[in-house]
Chain A
Amino acid sequence: MLRRATAAVSPLGFMVLLVQVAVPAATEAQGKVPELSALKPTAAPAFMLLGVSPTSIERPSSPADFGLMLVNRTERLSTIPEEFAVELSPFWLRRHPDLTWRADTARTIEQSIIRTLTWSAATAEIGNELAPQTGVAVGGRFMMLSGQLTRASKETLIALEQSLAAEGGLKNRMAAARLKILDDSLRVRLQAAQQLSDAQRQTAIAAAVQMHSVAAAALDAQILADPAYQDSIAEGRKRFENIALEREGPMLEIAAAAGWAFDNRIWDQGGFERWGVWSSLSWARSTAMPDGAKLTPVVLLRYTANRSDAQPDYLDAGARLILHDDRYAVSFETVLSSPTGEGVAERLYRVAGVLEYQLRKDAWAIATFGRDHNTTTEGSLIAQLGLRLQFAGERYKPGQ
């Protein structure tokens, strides 16, 4: 549940550190110090602020899509949609025909911000049956630093391009003999057209090209549907079924969100509730280990200002070290939470280790062990064993 604003938010002057700041705490963590993994804004900020994990997120890919979605979900801009989540990238709302992947292997800070900026918005029912409350949040995030494409990823893309060119080459070779007949016929017609007057020549050229185009399209369709061609390209594509492109180097992500809450969906019974800013700095693929397992350190800092006078504010500092290879990921994380301001709250810390192992191509076993911040409360012993499935298109990466 979102909390009412009852106290002033503390200054956030340390944002220039590598850092993570959030005011106030995530929804589900009310009155409880959040764990490190919750600090890193891996989900869209608006969803994090509401504490929701939407099962369906709208991702419009063009201004027309966005406009249509907005009109449909808001009943022509007359109401706030219920249980709604959207995330969009302004940069990718339009096409970029001049941006090749080679031109995106490394980015300036400006390019990184523009290309990675995404906006999110969500609404969710955050109250209960006795006190229904609707939460509304909007947020944005971007990578100020987004590293560069790894050498292995570049090599994968070059190999993929060669494979794709080979597909076209196969099609061209299979069509070559019959295309030659069509091309020879076209050449004769075009040469003959040169003897005509200007007006007649243009008409004759257009007719000859049209005839060639129709015949070539029919030939293409026949070859592309040929089982021999299909089998051949299917074989080549198996190699690139699951491409996981990775970037290495410094990654600095910054995210922010603001949230409102409305009792019984009544405007006068609601208002601005919370806002937050997150930031995380990580260094993927340490150069100390260029081959084999990769080591990725993540450093985070976050300030949590509680708007209830009954609870203290916290300054959280955390670090996570991730060692991963293709089949496993081992991570160790610790968070130190220090209360700020006047009060008697104690300094707390959390330590946890996570082991992830790939059982099969699409399934990972996960084991977690450690202690939570307050060791006197139920659930402070962290001991979990689980299974994580990789669904198509998610491009799961261990340790993240």
Chain B
Amino acid sequence: MPADITITDTRLYTVRPNTPVEIKVAIGDRQAGGTSLMYKGVERTAGTGFEPIGAPGEDVRFNVLHCVTTVRDIDPDHNHTSVKYTLRGGPVEQEYPFQMEVSADGHARYVIDFVFVQ
């Protein structure tokens, strides 16, 4: 089995006071993948749509959202993998694209932290 390839990164997202945010994780290049989200020590699986981060009215400033997305190469036509995180709820909706190449049937792991700043 080919070794996993992991990338880690930390990105900033500007939020509003007392306003929760939402995140959507899209796995592209026709590959299969799953994402775990952890916010304030609570872990859950991300679905295919926008996921709320924080309760209504909650101030998420200065907190960190930990995302781990694992993508498996299932496509015989290529070995590209890509993940696009979209955050909204702040002044601007923002996309954070990541990509990497794996070997056939390989796994790509994206360990991405989002720091919510003002």
A212 at the interface (CB under 8 A from B): yes
Interface residue SS majority, chain A: helix
- A190-B62, A205-B117, A220-B8 in contact; A97/B32 too (CB < 8 A)? no
- Please, how many angstroms separate the alpha-carbon atoms of A240 and B43 in the complex? 24
Could you tell me if B109 and A224 are in contact, using CB atoms closer than 8 angstroms? yes
CB distance from B52 to the nearest CB of A (A): 17
- 8 A Cβ contacts from B52-76 to A: 61-64, 66-72, 74, 76
Q: Which of B44, B78, B79 has the most CB of A within 10 A?
A: B78
How many residues of chain A have a CB within 8 Å of chain B?
52
B94 at the interface (CB under 8 A from A): no
- A89-B77, A176-B41, A393-B104 in contact; A164/B28 too (CB < 8 A)? no
Could you tell me if B12 and A209 are in contact, using CB atoms closer than 8 angstroms? yes
- 8 A Cβ contacts from B95-109 to A: 97, 99, 101, 104-105, 107, 109
Could you tell me if B28 and A98 are in contact, using CB atoms closer than 8 angstroms? yes
A216 at the interface (CB under 8 A from B): yes
Q: Within 8 Å CB of B68, what residues of A?
A: 167-169, 171-172
A57 at the interface (CB under 8 A from B): no
Q: What residue of chain B has the Cβ atom nearest to residue A205's Cβ?
A: B117
Could you tell me if A97 and B79 are in contact, using CB atoms closer than 8 angstroms? no
Q: What residue of chain B has the Cβ atom nearest to residue A187's Cβ?
A: B62
- Please, how many angstroms separate the alpha-carbon atoms of A217 and B112 in the complex? 10
- Please, how many angstroms separate the alpha-carbon atoms of A95 and B46 in the complex? 23
- Please, how many angstroms separate the alpha-carbon atoms of A187 and B34 in the complex? 28
- Please, how many angstroms separate the alpha-carbon atoms of A100 and B75 in the complex? 11
Could you tell me if B26 and A98 are in contact, using CB atoms closer than 8 angstroms? yes
- A176-B43, A216-B10 in contact; A92/B34 too (CB < 8 A)? no
- Please, how many angstroms separate the alpha-carbon atoms of A240 and B9 in the complex? 28
Could you tell me if A216 and B8 are in contact, using CB atoms closer than 8 angstroms? yes
A186 at the interface (CB under 8 A from B): yes
Could you tell me if A96 and B28 are in contact, using CB atoms closer than 8 angstroms? yes
Could you tell me if A168 and B41 are in contact, using CB atoms closer than 8 angstroms? no
- Please, how many angstroms separate the alpha-carbon atoms of A224 and B118 in the complex? 32
CB distance from B102 to the nearest CB of A (A): 11
- 8 A Cβ contacts from A124-146 to B: none
Q: Which of A95, A162, A212, A395 has the most CB of B within 10 A?
A: A95
Could you tell me if B38 and A172 are in contact, using CB atoms closer than 8 angstroms? yes
Q: Within 8 Å CB of A173, what residues of B?
A: 38, 43
Q: What residue of chain B has the Cβ atom nearest to residue A89's Cβ?
A: B77
Could you tell me if A164 and B72 are in contact, using CB atoms closer than 8 angstroms? yes
CB distance from A195 to the nearest CB of B (A): 12
Q: Mark A166-190, 1 if CB is under 8 A from B, else 0.
A: 1111011101100110010011001
Could you tell me if B77 and A92 are in contact, using CB atoms closer than 8 angstroms? yes
- 8 A Cβ contacts from B72-88 to A: 72, 74, 76-80, 82-84
Could you tell me if B6 and A224 are in contact, using CB atoms closer than 8 angstroms? yes
B18 at the interface (CB under 8 A from A): no
- A169-B36, A212-B10 in contact; A183/B64 too (CB < 8 A)? yes
- A95-B82, A168-B36, A393-B105 in contact; A180/B41 too (CB < 8 A)? yes
Q: Which of B27, B69, B113 contacts A100 (CB 8 A)?
A: B27
A157 at the interface (CB under 8 A from B): yes
- A97-B84, A172-B66, A212-B64 in contact; A190/B35 too (CB < 8 A)? no
Interface on A for B, CB 8 Å cutoff?
61, 89, 92, 95-102, 104, 157, 160-169, 171-173, 175-176, 179-180, 183, 186-187, 190-191, 194, 205, 209, 212-213, 216-217, 220, 224, 237, 240-241, 243, 245, 392-393, 395
The 4 closest A-B pairs by CB, nearest first: A165-B34, A168-B68, A168-B36, A164-B34
